Chains A and B, each alone.
Chain A
Amino acid sequence: AQSVAQPEDQVNVAEGNPLTVKCTYSVSGNPYLFWYVQYPNRGLQFLLKYITGDNLVKGSYGFEAEFNKSQTSFHLKKPSALVSDSALYFCAVRDLFNKLTFGTGTQLKVEL
């Protein structure tokens, strides 16, 4: 069975500093990987995905993610964090039947 691990429940970063939200996965076959963001009292918004191709994927709001097959990781990154980036971030992997398995989420807090 496929699985996703987000090892950090919370990540704190100062505004203007780079941020990384970690994700590792386990899946049979080629991984289809996603990042979603959830703002308070809102649904999940799609940020970016990796299907194939370049290991560095660029997404919405200046976010990017690096796919590393040997480390089975798909870490979310942003060069310069904003206070408005504070939200709950979910990593997900898709199986052969197109069902998503989500990680438990990482709360990002960006402080002034």
Chain B
Amino acid sequence: DADVTQTPRNRITKTGKRIMLECSQTKGHDRMYWYRQDPGLGLRLIYYSFDVKDINKGEISDGYSVSRQAQAKFSLSLESAIPNQTALYFCATRGGSGDTQYFGPGTRLTVL
């Protein structure tokens, strides 16, 4: 969905490196989410944010941190990347009164 953008789209990095994945949205939504997708496991929630001052851990937050720089921007960081963080990462947004989450195109991250 063009309203939710993610950068970079693909990234290869090495073990121990710090990396940041960025998400921006023009939908005007206050809620933003980070998920990772692994084959056979579906999508799992890493972190979510209901507004700039509200950050919450999801089910698999260990090894990750986030920053909500503005309502429209939500970044995911891997402080010291490890190979089992190789996955497809998705950002999603949701309006406060809405039920549906809208997803970005994803970032494919490979940690060597």
One of B12-20, B60-68, B74-82, B100-108 contacting the partner: B100-108
Interface string of B78-104 (1 = CB under 8 A from A): 000000000000101010000111111
| Contacting residues, chain B, for A103 (C-beta < 8 A) | 42
Q: Which of A12-70 contact B (CB under 8 A)?
A: 32, 34, 36, 42-46, 49, 51
B52 CB-CB contact with A under 8 Å: no
Contact A90 to B90, CB < 8 A, known contacts A43-B104, A43-B105, A51-B99: no
Shortest CB–CB separation between residue B11 and chain A, in angstroms? Answer: 15
Cβ contacts A to B, 14 pairs, < 8 Å: A42-B105, A43-B4, A43-B105, A43-B106, A46-B101, A46-B102, A90-B42, A94-B99, A99-B45, A99-B48, A100-B43, A102-B42, A102-B43, A102-B44
Using a CB–CB distance below 8 Å, which chain A residues touch chain B?
Answer: 9, 32, 34, 36, 42-46, 49, 51, 90, 94, 98-100, 102-105
| Contacting residues, chain A, for B43 (C-beta < 8 A) | 44, 90, 100, 102
Asked if B100 and A34 make an inter-chain contact with CB atoms under 8 angstroms apart, the answer reads yes
A50 and B2 alpha carbons, distance in the complex (Å) = 25
Interface string of B44-75 (1 = CB under 8 A from A): 11001000000000100000000000000000
Mostly, the B contact residues are strand
Asked if B45 and A100 make an inter-chain contact with CB atoms under 8 angstroms apart, the answer reads yes
Asked if A98 and B94 make an inter-chain contact with CB atoms under 8 angstroms apart, the answer reads yes
Asked if B103 and A104 make an inter-chain contact with CB atoms under 8 angstroms apart, the answer reads no
